[in-house]
Structure 1
């Protein structure tokens, strides 16, 4: 180039990046790194205080949720008192208990069979309220219906028994039969269907 645009001298302009711009880039990168570390630390604290994150919490909630146990069992059909024959025996030294108890059972609708003193194997050997004796098949049916009349009575199965009657043997702790209202509630509980749900807790 000539004229007034001619370059003279031994120094030439050099294309160098601005030092100020370089410093700005370094500052931006450093700030980004600091913010990234701070964010990661915050997430770790959140995990600690919330029990390990949303997925784990959701799994725990699922484990503690009620689970279906299947359809409800049908209501238990119990025999009516008129279908049950009860033999009443007195194993105590108090006289008249067998007759008065048998009369009360008759008023409540039961059929009454034998009434008298207890057989030798039970006579004066029953410290509790009483003993109920029946065939194994009567365990959840007639034996249960008679059992609510005398709560706390011991139950014994007699596989050699020839009939379906139930023996009610009065013991030394006997005071009276259960109140009719209590009997009604107990029978309702026995015949009610079982619940259809259950709650299973695992690590809750």
Structure 2
């Protein structure tokens, strides 16, 4: 073995040891180990479930907030075809001008985030800290045209980022 080869092996070995030391130091000194776990949160604040749910695990009520008859049933059918659990399809007297309004409680934060992507981020969010179920009310407004396609939903989810706990709530501790 030539001297140049021995020298190269020694340099590579030293670099490997230095890299290993940096990795160990980064892991030992990590200050974000409990980030998002809800630690240090006031006891009276609700714990928001920020887990992004799969379609089949999302429960919704579809509410027609327009003058268009049968809109809740049509959109409810669209959601059923996409594997959502549609609980009710109803109309309300109060009409809204928005694309949609998503009403939810602490257990529905992740579900509402997913549903918001079906409206390309244009749905208004109405969080109610006192609500105890995991159902999201999807109130359709007069600006609603159609649900987004699967590709558009995936792009919208990328644009929206990860679900976050609403103000006045804390995220549930994440299972490791």
Relative to the length of structure 1, the TM-score reads: 0.51
* Structure 1 partner of 2:67: 93
Q: Does 1:143 align with 2:112?
A: yes
Uncovered stretches (5+) of structure 2, i.e. residues with no partner: 1-30, 37-49, 163-176
Alpha-carbon contact 1:106-1:112 (below 8 Å) kept = yes
Q: CA deviation at 1:150?
A: 1.5
- Tell me the alpha carbon deviations over residues 26-61 of structure 1, each in whole angstroms, 9 at most, x when there is no partner: xxxxxxxxxxxxxxxxxxxxxxxxxxxxxxxxxxxx
- Are residue 116 (structure 1) and residue 85 (structure 2) matched? no
2:57 aligned partner: 83
Q: TM-score, normalised by structure 2?
A: 0.59
Contact 1:133 1:168 in 2 (8 A): yes
Is there any run of 5+ residues in structure 1 with no aligned partner, and where? 1-69, 193-204
Q: Distance in 2 between matches of 1:91 and 1:189?
A: 27
TM-superposed CA distance for 1:78, in Å, is 1.6
- The answer to whether residue 145 in structure 2 is matched with residue 175 in structure 1 is yes
The CA distance in 1 between the partners of 2:160 and 2:146, in whole Å, is: 21
Q: Which moved more, 1:149-158 or 1:85-94?
A: 149-158
Q: Distance in 1 between matches of 2:119 and 2:58?
A: 15
- Asked if 1:155 is matched to 2:129, the reply is no
3-state SS in 2 of match to 1:115: strand
Contact kept? 2:106, 2:131, Cα under 8 Å: no
C-alpha change, 1:109 and 1:191, in structure 2 (3 Å) is farther
Q: Deviations over 1:143-198 (max 9, x none)?
A: 10111111311000122323110000000111111122101222345567xxxxxx
RMSD value, Cα: 2.4
2:106 and 2:132 in contact (8 A); partners too: no
Change in Cα spacing, 1:77 to 1:131, as seen in structure 2 (3 Å) is closer
* Structure showing greater Rg: 1
TM-fit CA distance, 1:84: 0.8
